[in-house]
Amino acid sequence: MDDLFGPFNDLSEHYATKHFFGKDENLVPDRSKINPMLVNKLEEIYKFLDNQPEYKGKGFPLLGGYRSKNHPDERKKKVPGSHTHGIAADVDVSQHGDIEKLYRLLDKQPFMKDTSLGVYPDGKSLHIDVRGKNFRWGALKKANGDNEYLTADEAFRRFKSRKRVK
Ligand SMILES: [Zn+2]
């Protein structure tokens, strides 16, 4: 699985530097920009899920992690967010079934008490960051494509009621 951007798992058993550099910015993957605490946390979650019969073998694959301050999503913010510090990753959970069930399982784990967790039901993704807080939120896409930030409960409630009317 090695390629031009380096080995498949140069950071940990399941994560490589290149996984943290998404396709929406043309950045050269740079290992020094990724905080090891983030890698350890992702690895902890990966192994926890792999021990659950329901999630075994599904992995915990990243959509991206590191962003420059010039990333379109970061330019919209007053202060650049956790992704620009190398302490955040977005995870593709499209293969993990009911996203609310997955979120609630992770939310209550002791190892998530020092970790922030955001849930994006539209994109079937989770945001994980190790800024040392226990923030929780949900976000849904507005008609203009921007995210609307809500509590996770409210995001799930609206997501489900929207699916019903379709
Ligand atoms: Zn994120």
Residue 58 has pLDDT above 90, yes or no: yes
Residue 135 in domain: yes
In this structure, are residues 18 and 29 in contact, taking their beta carbons and an 8 Å threshold? Answer: yes
Residue 136 in domain: yes
What is the domain-level CATH number for residue 82?
Answer: 3.30.1380.10
Q: State the residue range of the domain holding 22.
A: 17-165
Residue 92 in domain: yes
Residue 5 in domain: no
Residue 10 in domain: no
Q: How far is the CA of 89 from the centre of ligand 1 (A)?
A: 6
Q: How far is the CA of 101 from the centre of ligand 1 (A)?
A: 20
Q: How far is the CA of 165 from the centre of ligand 1 (A)?
A: 29
Q: How far is the CA of 119 from the centre of ligand 1 (A)?
A: 9
pLDDT tens string 70-122: 998 899 889 999 999 999 999 999 999 999 999 999 999 999 999 999 999 99
Residue 72 in domain: yes
When divided into structural domains, the chain yields a total of 1
Cα(134)–Cα(21) distance, integer angstroms: 25
Residue 88 in domain: yes
Q: How far is the CA of 13 from the centre of ligand 1 (A)?
A: 22
pTM above 0.85? yes
Q: How far is the CA of 61 from the centre of ligand 1 (A)?
A: 13
Q: How far is the CA of 88 from the centre of ligand 1 (A)?
A: 6
